[in-house]
Amino acid sequence: MRKQRYPIFWLVLLALIFTTTIFSSLLAPFEPNVMDMNQIYQAPNATHLLGTDQLGRDVLSRLLVGGKVTLFIAIVSVVLSSIIGIIYGGISGYFGGAIDAVMMRILEAFLTIPSLVIVLALQAMMQGSMWRMAMVMGITGWFVTARIIRSEFIRLKEQEFVQMAKMFRTPLWKILFGHLLRNCMPAIFVVTIFNFAGAIFTEVSLSFLGIGVPPATPSWGTMLYTAQNDLLVGAWWMGLFPGLLIFITILCVQVIGGTFKQGGNRTHV
């Protein structure tokens, strides 16, 4: 019973974070970008539950709206990287031979360079909207997905039900989608979960370095970026609450992904 309830707690907590960020426009007590110079660096109080920043903006409101930006970037980038990884890894694993050898050498060349370095370089050149940031993260985050899909396709294409499908001249698209890809869904789900956690970390890292979304756009990363100087004047709440929420969100995703990974996968004919 304890093992069964353990992931439920993290699922509920993650769902709560998503819900509050999705409906942030309704739940935010103040307009996130409205400045009140008479309320600069207010510590958490009854009016501003999480305090105010250097421009008198409500931290709670910016935290809720900023979560929507961060999670949006993470979701878009993970969807894009998953599509690229599935296509690339599926082609490499199914056809094998020279095609697989060439594609794997290209993939290994990309893997020798840390993905964060590639993202930093591209983001520095394409710095702009959150859509551009999501695109950059998406086109550089598919390497692990491609390797896992390739391994799954190589394993599954030797299974008896796939060989029978080829024997009965089943259309190629049906073999790829109906037999191979469908049986890769557990692995795809697990790697997507971990990629999502990595995407949150990447967005926070880029924004913390000042090359993420524009500073005027609230996100968890930009809030940490501005909190660097605020901590020097004793505004501890500026970095504590965004950092705590980032930590809890990534922890939830990691625990959920680890739970499903331990659950194993099943093959469906």
pLDDT tens for each residue of 136-162: 888 888 888 999 999 998 888 888 887
pLDDT, residue 121, reads 73
177 is a domain residue? yes
pLDDT, residue 264, reads 55
Average pLDDT over residues 17-22: 92
Average pLDDT over residues 243-269: 77
187 is a domain residue? yes
51 is a domain residue? no
pLDDT, residue 169, reads 80
CATH code, domain with 185: 1.10.3720.10
| Residue 206: its H or E element | helix 185-208
pLDDT, residue 6, reads 62
57 is a domain residue? no
Residue 254's CB: how many other CB atoms inside 10 A? 16
Provide the residue range defining the domain that includes 214.
67-222+248-262
Split at pLDDT 50, 70, 90, the class of 125 is: low
The neighbouring-strand residues paired with 52 are 58
pLDDT tens-place string over residues 170-215: 787 887 887 788 888 888 888 999 999 989 988 888 888 777 777 7
52 by DSSP, 3-state: which?
strand
Full-model pTM:
0.84
60 is a domain residue? no
Q: How many domains does one find in the chain? A: 1
78 is a domain residue? yes
242 is a domain residue? no
23 is a domain residue? no
pLDDT tens-place string over residues 32-84: 888 888 888 888 998 888 989 888 899 999 999 989 989 999 999 999 999 99
Average pLDDT, the chain: 84
Average pLDDT over residues 77-94: 91
In angstroms, the CA 22 to CA 25 distance is 8
DSSP conformational letter for 58: B
